[in-house]
Amino acid sequence: MARLSHDQLTLLRRFVLRARIVQDHSLARDILVLHEQSRTTVKIVVTVDTGTGEETTTVGAVEMLPAEQVESAAARVRSIFLKRDNVHYDDVLNAINSALKGRADADEDRAVAKNLRSRFRAADPDYPVTSQGKRWDGGSISNKQLSGAWLYGHLLHEDEKRRSYTEPLALEEAYISATKTVCLEMIAVVSTLHLIERLQVKGWLGLPETVFTDAVTITASSWMQPGHVMALLAPKDTPLPESLDRDLLESGVWKPVTEVFPLPGSLPREDEHRAGSS
């Protein structure tokens, strides 16, 4: 049985943290909607005039998710599909396969990992052929080229060449295609996270438990600084202290806020002032 290298463990740790961020997204919380939006459904409506027998064929309206929801989901999943971010899905699955190597009881897990690679590649706009650096030449446009044009031409990057693939079509068509891509990507990422969690429970990975429990997303609407806080003021242009380990009050430059701006309750009342001056 192979032991994972330090680099492989680091890779899996980074992936788990990123995948948990993806899993926490609002779009991933409703798995039924996620799967529904990952499929291409075309509704053809045929209307027949019973008087004349004339037929009219139209394409039914496509319900679209809010653009901001898809855009934020794309931002969360993006790094797993970029080689340069060192958490690419191919490398992650290679590390998983290394953990399964030599284990006689891992056939099912190996099959799951193989299926996940196929799902990642089906979702990846740049697999097997990328449109990066290419301009639309006037030919046919695939769904991957269209979704890549919206994701990398309009949203995540400012890429005029990739954006050219949306020129002959409505922007909504590119968005619908990109929505399918993002949902497919999220399903693959979350499914891989679940596989890693199972392998961790079996004791085959040895990742620190904190990567599965530490907070990775913001859920609160407010926050308060914990512990004791001291608010100090100093004259304008006073250089910031090099260290907070020393008592700044000893310098005589920094003073408590309450000394510079006394609290309302500590000010003498007007009637007391008159009494003292009479």
Reference 197, options 219, 208, 182, 212; nearest CA is 212
**175 and 111, same structural domain?**
yes
Examine the domain organization and report whether 186 and 241 are in the same domain: no
Domain that holds residue 264: 232-277
At 19 the pLDDT is 98
pLDDT digits (tens), the chain, 278 positions: 668 999 999 999 999 999 999 999 999 988 888 888 888 788 888 999 999 989 999 988 888 999 999 999 999 999 999 988 899 999 999 999 999 999 999 999 999 999 999 999 999 999 998 888 888 988 889 999 999 999 988 888 888 888 898 888 888 999 999 999 999 999 999 999 999 999 999 999 999 999 999 999 998 899 898 888 788 899 989 998 888 777 888 888 888 888 877 766 655 555 544 444 43
pLDDT for position 261: 79
Domain identity same for 96 and 204? yes
Q: What is residue 266's DSSP assignment?
A: G
Q: Give yes or no: residues 199 and 250 share one domain.
A: no
Q: Is residue 57 part of a domain?
A: no
Among the listed residues 87, 81, 93, the one whose alpha carbon sits nearest the alpha carbon of residue 117:
93
Q: Are residues 206 and 239 in the same domain?
A: no
Number of domains present in the structure of the chain = 2
112 and 17 in a common domain: yes
- pTM comes to 0.81
86 and 182 inside one domain: yes
Q: 185 and 251 share a domain?
A: no
Query: Are 208 and 236 found together in one domain?
Result: no
247 and 129 in a common domain: no
pLDDT at 277: 44
DSSP string spanning 180-222? HHHHHHHHHHHHHHHHHHHHHHTTSS---THHHHS--S---S-
Q: Quick one: 209 and 246 in the same domain? A: no
CB atoms within 10 A of CB 246: 10
Amino acid present at 36: E
Q: What is the pLDDT of residue 262?
A: 74
- Does residue 44 fall inside a structural domain? no
